Structure 1
Amino acid sequence: MLQSTVSAIVPIARTARAPRTSRRTHEVVSLVTIDVTVPGTASAESRRALHSALGDDLRLYVMTIDRANERVTFRAEITARTLDNVIAALTTSLAQATLGRAVSSVLRRPRQS
């Protein structure tokens, strides 16, 4: 003869979880990219002036050296500063610089311990 079995439904005890904490492994940092044209035909002196004006969080790229008009155009990428701060630093430090295209964005980089 067949026997029927009935399985009892046992409620699963739920354990209390610790509140979920936000462990961000990355930080959000502002990034400003700006083109700066300065007078001259050599980039070394202008590079030093840009570094002293904008600090260590700076990457510089020489875009063009125009020997006919005696000017050098740099593309500068500055992290951890706003666009307003970058423009203020450039206009107070480099009197004869021409500011070109500027883009402000954010980037995620690993959090430093």
Structure 2
Amino acid sequence: MPLISDFIAASHPAAQGHRAAASVARPHDHGPRVCLTVRIPGRDTQAVRRALHRALGDRLGIYTLTLDTRLAMTTVQLQAGRGDLVSLMDAIMAGVPEAEFGAIHAGDLTVLH
């Protein structure tokens, strides 16, 4: 089964001719911050949280989690560096195969202390 990173590297215009470099996330080169939307069917937010922690480990940074009880859908907004996005998406697909990816927005999540 092809990895999502291969698809992104092949289809992204900026990655043309740089396929190998685009599919390797370098820890020192995170790039600008982005917000990735991930939707997971179900109402058990604790199970979703545990699955994300298992799949991403210490790569899981700031995130928000919301539950739509009407649709029985949990939505997670993950904050990541642009350079980490491909490896995070691969890890999510491997660890949480029922996850659906949504919009990717530029910028940081707003964090209230």
Q: Same fold (TM over 0.5)?
A: yes
Residue 91 of structure 2 corresponds to residue 89 of structure 1: yes
Is the Cα contact below 8 Å between 1:83 and 1:104 reproduced in 2? no
The offset of 1:104, in angstroms, is: 6.5
Greater percentage in strand: 1
Tell me, which stretches of 5 or more residues in structure 2 are unaligned?
Answer: 1-27, 108-113
> How far, CA to CA, are the matches of 2:69 and 2:94 in structure 1?
26
Question: Amino acid of the residue matched to residue 40 of structure 2?
Answer: V
Deviations 1:37-74 (A, max 9, x none): 11111311101111111122322201x31112211101
Partner in structure 2 of residue 54 of structure 1: 56
Aligned residues: 79
Distance in structure 2 (CA, Å) of the matches to 1:104 and 1:97:
21
Residues 76, 93 of structure 1: CA spacing in aligned structure 2 closer, same or farther, 3 A cutoff? same
Identify the residue that residue 20 of structure 1 maps to in structure 2.
Answer: none
TM-score by length of 2: 0.57
Percentage of identical aligned residues = 26
Deviations 1:62-111 (A, max 9, x none): 1x311122111010113595221111111111111111112477xxxxxx
- Are the aligned partners of 1:32 and 1:102 in contact in 2 as well (CA < 8 Å)? yes
Higher Cα Rg: structure 1 or 2? 1
Task: Give the whole-Å Cα distance in 2 for the aligned partners of 1:96 and 1:70.
Answer: 13
The SS at the match of 2:38 is: strand
TM-score by length of 1: 0.57
Unaligned 5+ residue runs, structure 1? Answer: 1-26, 106-113
- Whether the aligned pair in 1 keeps the contact of 2:29 and 2:83 (CA below 8 Å) is no
CA distance in 1 between counterparts of 2:98 and 2:54 reads 16
Q: Report the counterpart of residue 39 of structure 1 in structure 2.
A: 41
